[in-house]
Each structure stands twice: as C-alpha cells, then as structure tokens.
Amino acid sequence: MFLDINGSTALAARLGAFTITALVGKFLFDISKPITDSGGQIYLYKGDGLIALWDWNTAIRGNKILRAVDGIFAAVRREHDECRRQFGVVPTFRVGVYGDPINIAARMEDAAREHEVACVI
C-alpha cells in the first residue's frame, strides 16, 4: 500500500512548517493502527505518507488489506472534528494497493491523483 496526503505542499505553505509537521504526525499516527491491526507492517514513513506491506496470504485472508483501507478512512472520519479544531483542516489522501512491487503501488496512487479518486486497487 502506498498512501499520500493530497496537496500537502500547498497545505504546508498555508499552515506553516510547525503546523503541517504536527498535522502529518497526527494523520500518520491515526492511520497506522488500522494497517497494523490488519496484519500490515509499516515499511516506510515517507514525508506526508507511508508505504505498508502485507504478505500475500495475510492480505487476502478475510480481505484484511481491504479492511485496512476501510479502517484508514474510518479513522480519518473519526478524527475529523479534532483535526479541524487543532489545524483548521482535515487532510484528504489517496491510496494505491497492488500485489508485491512497491513501485506499482506508487503508480496506483499516482493514478488515484490523476483520476481524482481516493483509492485505486
């Protein structure tokens, strides 16, 4: 899984360095639990996003990877009011999920941006 906040550069310019750092930190903290709860491992925190990995059997057993995606969206919805209060904004994001290669997941995330959708699987 490759996940990235939408428009983070513009958001950083608007909020300033300290506030965007706090926002990204909270966001990544909030979305990490659904990933690890579903058997995923955070491979890399990358700027305003992350790369998470599942072994294939874990990912497909009980649709765990899809449950992780649902859990991420639910976590952001749950923290909506708190983010709005603390930062004046609630981040939106995109997700790419696909098989083994990380670079393919990254391209899927790029496709989400191009097509202006939240998730491409």
Per-residue confidence (pLDDT) for residue 33, from 0 to 100 = 97
**Does 121 have pLDDT greater than 90?**
no
Whether residue 107 is contained in a domain is answered as no
Whether residue 104 is contained in a domain is answered as no
Provide the domain count of the chain: 1
Whether residue 43 is contained in a domain is answered as yes
Whether residue 111 is contained in a domain is answered as no
CA angle 41, 26, 59 (to 5 degrees): 20
Whether residue 119 is contained in a domain is answered as no
Q: pLDDT tens, 42-93?
A: 999 999 999 999 998 888 888 999 999 999 999 999 999 999 999 999 999 9
Where residue 13 falls (left for φ over 0; alpha for ψ -120 to 50; beta otherwise) is alpha
Q: pLDDT tens, 12-44?
A: 999 999 999 999 999 999 999 999 999 999 999
Dist. CA 87–CA 91, nearest whole Å: 10
> Which residue in 77, 88, 66 sits closest to 30, CA to CA?
77
Per-residue confidence (pLDDT) for residue 25, from 0 to 100 = 97
What is the average pLDDT across 107-117?
Answer: 88
Whether residue 8 is contained in a domain is answered as yes
